[in-house]
Every structure is written in structure tokens, then in C-alpha cells.
Amino acid sequence: MKAMTKIALVSASVLTMGALTACQSNPGPKDGADGHPMMRGGEHHKMSPEQRAEKKQMRAERHDFKKQAKTACDHKAVGTAVSFQVGNKTVDGLCAVNFRPDREAMKALRDTHTKDADRMKDKANRPDFHVKRGQELTAEQKTQIEQYRAERKAQFAQKRVERQAKWDALQSACAGQQNGQKIQAKMGDATIPGTCFVHFKPTARADMMGNTPAPKA
């Protein structure tokens, strides 16, 4: 019994020493010259104080732009010219009206686009052979592959143009409508429920600009 107890104590001591050794050999993140922990890849450490200050200012300007753009067209008519100051830059734009489909309608549209993409894959004349790694292709096989890629590219380009035309027609459904007006818009053969919203549209894209979020209904 005493021998078993001694063996258990020795084993526990060995495990404890191993754990302590592992902790000592795996220190936490090293501090940079400025006393702050270094980021993964050393990106933070590589940036100079001026670069960090510039990056911080850019983040602040983007935040300020989004905040002002979100409310710039509140209680303003469509077509009203609006400008505001962000840092040392003046952002000019107009109040525009757009159509925002309901969430379920957008999901249905995305599903339709996915199905269209799958159908386009089936319509393309796929090469009737499988290429193994390192296999040298014949001239005929290369021609088939190039033809297949060209067909796929043309199909996607055409589909993109068609989708853009449908989307533009969808947005025009809100012409002359008030902010918050709920309407039923047509997109091809489908009827899409949604809401018209007035938002700020910049006339030129500035450095601090991100996607202006649509106001909540």
C-alpha cells in the first residue's frame, strides 16, 4: 500500500513539473517597442506611430460618414442636394429614393439566381472527358475546354446584364413615392413586396465612404 502511494506521489510530481515546463517554454505574445502586444504577423509592430494615427483617423471618418449619411435625408424631399463635412472633406450628394424588397422576397430572389446558375452549368457543353493531374491534353481536348469556358463566361455575362436590368426596373417602381411607402413591384413575372426609402446618395465616392445602410422601416 505504501509503495502504491509513493508511486502515485511521484507520478503527480512528474506531471506537475511537466506542466510548469510547458508554461515556461510557451510564453504569451511578445510586447513590441511601444509596450503593446504584437499582433499576429507582426502587422501592428511594423506600423509606425504616424501610420497607426492615420489608420485610426480613417476609421473615425468612416464612422462619421456613415452616421451622417444615415440621417442626411431625414424629412427631405427626393432630389434635394445635401452636403456635410467629414474631417477636412466635404461630401456632396442627393436624396434619392430606392426600393427595398422584403426579407423573404430577397431570399426568394437569391434562390432563383442560384437555380439559374445551376441551369447554366447544365446548358453549357461540358467536355466529355476527365482530366487527371499531370495528364497532357490533346489539341481537341484543349479546344473543348476553351469552348466550354467561353460559353460559361458568355452565359454569366448575359445573365448579369439581365439581372441588372430587372433590378433597375425594380428600383424605378419607387419613383414619386414617399419614404416608408409600401408597394408591390414587378420584376419579370414576379411581384415583389417591399418599401420605398429615401437615402443619401453621394455624387462622388470619397475615401471614407462605405455602404450606406438603408433606414429601418
pTM for the model stands at 0.50
Residue 63: per-residue pLDDT:
93
**5-35 residue pLDDT tens:** 544 554 555 455 555 454 554 555 555 554 5
Domain boundaries, the chain: 59-129+140-202
pLDDT one-digit tens code per residue, 162-217: 888 888 888 888 888 888 899 988 877 778 899 999 999 998 765 555 444 444 44
Give the chain's radius of gyration (CA, Å): 30
At residue 118, what is the residue type? D
Q: Cell numbers at residue 34, please?
A: 511601444
- pLDDT confidence of residue 18: 53
Predicted local confidence at residue 217, as pLDDT: 41
Residue type, 95: C
pLDDT tens digit sequence for 37-94: 555 545 556 888 889 998 999 999 999 999 999 999 998 888 899 999 998 889 999 9
CB burial string 104-133: b at 16+ within 10 A, e below: ebeeebeeeeeeeeeeeeeebeebeeeeee
CA distance 200 to 215: 11
Q: Per-residue pLDDT tens for 102-146?
A: 888 778 777 766 666 555 555 556 666 676 777 788 888 888 888
pLDDT digits (tens, 9 = 90+) for 71-81: 999 988 888 99
Alpha-carbon gap, residue 34 to 94, rounded angstroms: 45
